[in-house]
Amino acid sequence: MALSQDYIADWQKWHDARVAELKRPYGLLSVVSQDWLTEGEPLTSEFVPGQWLLDKGEIYYHPDPERTARGELLTVDGKPATGPVHIPHGYNRNSGTGSSVPVFFTDLEVETITRLNARGEVIYAVRVRDPKEAARKQFDDIETFPLSEDWILPARFTPAEITLHSVPTVEGGLYEASYTIGTLDIVIDGRPFHLEVSGHRAGSASTGYFRDLNYVHIGDLTSSRETYGGGRLVGYDSDEALESITQIDFNRAVSFPCAFSTFIACPSTPPSNRLPFRVTAGEFKPPIPHARIPTYKG
């Protein structure tokens, strides 16, 4: 059965919104640095004057006196940092998935992130976003495989006890906390597959900013060739009850955020989701390739 005009129009609207989101001034294209902190050791950023200090799991900023005297100030939640100041954990709201407060130096946005290392320890980093970098990397569109009804497949979701575990990322030594939500059962060419469904949680109810994303992370024989090597995801919005899912639409498979920046490390593809054939649907590689440079030396 051919795709309907309503489906094509809806997909195009979704795709255009996806591209617009990527091209935002403070979106994924804007990240210019990611510096990991060591407990008790001051860190100086290439982009922001002053020093950052990790003290018992909390991050503090100490301004540079000379730059401060010239009025070159970091602002934290709209207030100039004329002295040492505590930086709340979390991506900033302006970045799109945050729980912190706005932190800016001129038009540079600063956020903090946490990950895990190979020893299971929580590690902390300061990340900087520059809208000029996003403008430099602008592109018109992301090429996709032709839309096909063959890749809209019946699916059945089976919930599981939600568990939090650490998974390796595309950067060696870095691990990310990931939730397992359940499995999505599909059949392709008569073969059954039980795809792990993952969850991402950002923010908290107490901060007044919270976003959930449930998704299926797949790899296939197009990975690293036609599509991003770290795999692609098909997302399900938090306001869509997982139990009501009846299909998976691979036409909406998109590259992971780490496909757009070396300063973002995404989880590796779950073994059960590595499909032994080409999924000729969804996004090709991003039009702005980059060489992955390790940021964590621990």
Report how far apart, in Å, the C-alpha atoms of 88 and of each of 72, 126, 159 are. 21, 11, 34
Same domain, 150 and 261: yes
Same domain, 105 and 218: no
Condensed to tens digits (0 to 9), the pLDDT of residues 144-182 reads 999 999 999 999 999 888 787 888 998 989 998 788 889
3-state secondary structure of 58: strand
* Beta-ladder partners of 87: 59
Number of domains in the chain: 2
Provide the whole-model pTM: 0.88
In a domain, 224, yes or no: yes
pLDDT at 95: 38
Number of helical H runs and strand E runs in the chain? 3, 17
Same domain, 150 and 126: no
Lowest-pLDDT range of 54-63, 79-88, 202-211:
202-211
Give the E-state strand segments of 64-208 in sequence order. Answer: 74-76, 79-80, 85-87, 103-105, 108-116, 122-129, 152-154, 156-168, 175-188, 191-204
Same domain, 132 and 145: no
Which has the higher per-residue pLDDT, 144 or 244?
Answer: 144
Domain that holds residue 182: 141-273
Same domain, 41 and 119: yes
Last residue of a domain, one of 88, 109, 136: 136
Condensed to tens digits (0 to 9), the pLDDT of residues 270-291 reads 999 999 999 999 999 999 887 8
Task: Convert 63-83 to b/e letters by CB count within 10 Å (16 or more is b).
Answer: bbeeebeeeebbbbeeeebee
Last residue of a domain, one of 87, 118, 136: 136
3-state secondary structure of 107: coil
Same domain, 81 and 187: no
Same domain, 173 and 243: yes
Average pLDDT, the chain: 88
Lowest-pLDDT range of 95-99, 214-218, 223-227, 248-252:
95-99
